[in-house]
Structure 1
Amino acid sequence: MVEPSGVFISSDMFYLEIVLEPTGAVKDVKIHHEGKMEQQSCTELVNCLSRGDFADFTAQLEGFASIYQLNAEKKLSAKHSLP
């Protein structure tokens, strides 16, 4: 039996694990968030990769990055406002 292989895309705040079938088809995309042990499957990313829609995949990744950027800015401004 051949085990599925995978690809990782990482940033400072999260990383994606793209799980592939032996045929090369996308089986799952798991999101691992900063500092959390649990992971989430993301069917939207599975679907856009399965369709070969890399523009949508890139837009989804940019969305994740912007969410983390907003949270980082809020944390930074809260630290600066403390006496």
Structure 2
Amino acid sequence: TFAHVCEVDRIVDDILDVTKSSEELGKTAGKDLASDKTTYPKLLGLEKSRGFAEKLLSDAREQLFSGFDQEKAAPLLHLANYIAYRQN
């Protein structure tokens, strides 16, 4: 579950790097592209990258709800959602 959320963070960061401005991000945008870094959007494109992040998030949610008390898992779920839908 934690690994899924960490990978979602990586994918979202890659997506934001190519879709947001430096002002929106609060850091230099486009650094991955400029350094020819291998990223999810570069390999899969934006749409498939977002879809993969959604699948990982869905898998993490399923694991949290099936393996843990929902009340105790709620903070982790909120964190996962924040990571997946952040805008900077």
TM-score bin, normalised by smaller chain: 0.3 to 0.5
Q: Please give the TM-score of this superposition, normalised by the length of structure 2.
A: 0.38
Q: Please give the TM-score of this superposition, normalised by the length of structure 1.
A: 0.40
Higher RCO (C-alpha 8 Å, min separation 6):
2
More strand by share: 1
Q: Which of 1 and 2 has greater Rg?
A: 1
